[in-house]
């Protein structure tokens, strides 16, 4: 995820003695041995406010690099000091599509287009990994990070309502601390020809066709499915208290709602503001089970192409924190506004006291 937050250290008060000319920086793939310098740079940028505590643990970072869970690019001075970072991160070792994010630049070096240099090198890494694409999650309290992703070919694919803590800030902008913030996911395709089938209820088809047009991806939309004949298989992802969490459906099944209830029960008591559920769009049974999940309180979150070896997924979201600030969700272009408005309309449809499930 692309996080932008206030640093607890003011750039003007940071020591300037170690500054080098930007032309002397080396932009390269991060090594496990860079982990301590990585943490030092993160701390200069964010103090102790970064939302993922594992990012402050050099041994965890080194392990993620060694295991291929994170493919990072760093900007390094001749003295070996890390002053910029960006990464592809995989949620699960078997996922095909990583998240593009964890972008930060040392406050002393901001304004020198180091993020552009990191992005150029990161694109080479994506090519070497033979990635079909990657996804990014941009903040919506300002459009700056969205413009950067759009410039590299990214397209809006959904909206994660209340997906970001209210403590996330960017300097010089108005922030409402009593509201969680929403984030806008993008997909950047790296393949020229991209086609395949997806199963969706008819009432989502017009919106999905809009997504296909502005992503440039081709899909055969099939709205005739079948009831599942086997039991569902789901995995609940444990997250820290107060953080969004998720459920992954490995196999659709006739007892999916029961399995989801069980999974939600294991997640109770941790005050998760949002629960996501990932559904395989290559399974015909998903057509009948999307409306059932919507009646259970889940709504459209994001379409993630190529996420699994079997095809795309649809990430639905269930809001436990329904205090939504929908008036300050900023989008960089009309395509983003279209996506935002559709997801918000689904939120109102599902969460309105008078709402009823859509008819397929």
Question: Do residues 78 and 142 both lie within one domain?
Answer: no
> What is the spatial distance between Cα 219 and Cα 120, in angstroms, rounded to a whole number?
29
- Output the CA torsion sign for 121, 125, 130, 135: negative
Residue 160 counted as domain residue: yes
- Hey, is 205 helix, strand or coil? helix
Residue 345 counted as domain residue: yes
The backbone region for 47, taken as left when phi is positive above 0, alpha when psi lies in -120 to 50, beta otherwise, is: left
Residue 127 counted as domain residue: no
Domain boundary among 111, 145, 163: 111
The predicted pLDDT at position 165 comes to 55
Residue 228 counted as domain residue: yes
Residue 16 counted as domain residue: no
Question: Do residues 66 and 207 both lie within one domain?
Answer: no
Domain that holds residue 156: 132-360
Q: Which residues pair with 222 in a beta bridge?
A: 199
Q: What is the DSSP string of 62-98?
A: HHHHHTTSEEEEEEE-TT--EEEEEEEE-SSTT-S-P
Question: Do residues 176 and 49 both lie within one domain?
Answer: no
Question: Do residues 89 and 146 both lie within one domain?
Answer: no
Reported pTM: 0.82
CATH number, residue 45: 3.40.630.30
> What is the spatial distance between Cα 264 and Cα 231, in angstroms, rounded to a whole number?
17
Question: Do residues 306 and 260 both lie within one domain?
Answer: yes
The predicted pLDDT at position 341 comes to 96
Question: Do residues 145 and 106 both lie within one domain?
Answer: no
Question: Do residues 255 and 339 both lie within one domain?
Answer: yes
Range 327-351 average pLDDT: 93
pLDDT per residue as tens digits for the range 253-283: 989 999 999 888 877 767 788 899 999 999 9
Domain boundary among 81, 111, 141: 111
Report the candidate in 124, 117, 118, 127 with the shortest Cα–Cα distance to residue 190.
127
Residue 1 counted as domain residue: no
Q: What is the tally of structural domains in the chain?
A: 2
Range 80-102 average pLDDT: 88
- Output the CA torsion sign for 20, 113, 23, 30: positive
Question: Do residues 297 and 234 both lie within one domain?
Answer: yes
| 295 vs 176 pLDDT, higher one | 295
Residue 63 counted as domain residue: yes
Question: Do residues 90 and 138 both lie within one domain?
Answer: no
Alpha-carbon Rg for the chain, nearest whole angstrom, is 21
Question: Do residues 215 and 101 both lie within one domain?
Answer: no
Domain boundary among 64, 82, 111: 111
| 235 vs 242 pLDDT, higher one | 235
Contact present, 198 and 219 (Cβ < 8 Å) = yes
Question: Do residues 60 and 183 both lie within one domain?
Answer: no
Percent of the chain with pLDDT over 70: 87
Residue 164's pLDDT band, with cuts at 50, 70 and 90, is low
């Amino acid at each position: 995820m692309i996080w932008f937050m206030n640093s607890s250290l003011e750039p003007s008060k940071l020591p300037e003695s170690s500054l080098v000319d930007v032309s002397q920086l080396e932009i390269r793939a991060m090594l496990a041995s860079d982990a301590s310098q990585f943490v030092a740079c993160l701390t200069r940028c964010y103090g102790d406010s970064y939302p993922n505590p594992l990012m402050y643990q050099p041994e965890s970072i080194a392990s993620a690099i060694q295991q291929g869970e994170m493919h990072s690019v760093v900007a390094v001075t001749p003295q070996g000091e890390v002053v910029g970072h960006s990464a592809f991160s995989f949620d699960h070792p078997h996922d095909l599509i990583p998240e593009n994010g964890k972008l930060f630049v040392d406050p002393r070096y901001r304004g020198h287009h180091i993020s552009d240099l990191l992005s150029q090198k990161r694109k080479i890494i994506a090519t070497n990994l033979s990635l079909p694409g990657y996804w990014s999650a941009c903040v919506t309290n300002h459009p700056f990070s969205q413009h950067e992703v759009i410039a590299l070919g990214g397209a809006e694919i959904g909206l994660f309502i209340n997906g970001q803590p209210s403590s996330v800030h960017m300097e010089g902008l108005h922030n409402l601390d009593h509201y969680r913030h929403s984030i806008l996911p993008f997909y950047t395709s790296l393949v020229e020809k991209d086609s395949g089938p997806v199963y969706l209820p008819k009432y989502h088809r017009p919106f999905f066709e809009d997504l296909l047009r502005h992503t440039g991806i081709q899909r055969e939309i099939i709205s005739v499915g079948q009831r599942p004949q086997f039991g569902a298989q789901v995995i609940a992802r444990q997250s820290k208290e107060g953080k969004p969490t998720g459920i992954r459906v490995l196999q659709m099944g006739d007892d999916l709602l029961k399995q989801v209830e069980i999974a939600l029960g294991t997640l109770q008591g941790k005050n998760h503001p949002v629960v996501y559920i990932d559904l395989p769009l290559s399974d015909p049974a998903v057509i009948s089970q999307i409306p059932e999940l919507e009646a259970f309180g889940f709504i459209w979150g994001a379409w993630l192409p190529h996420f699994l070896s079997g095809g795309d997924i649809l990430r639905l979201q269930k809001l436990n924190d329904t205090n939504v600030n929908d008036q300050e969700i900023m989008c960089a272009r009309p395509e983003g506004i279209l996506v935002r408005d559709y997801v918000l309309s689904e939120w109102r449809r599902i969460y309105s006291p008078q709402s009823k499930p859509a008819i397929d």
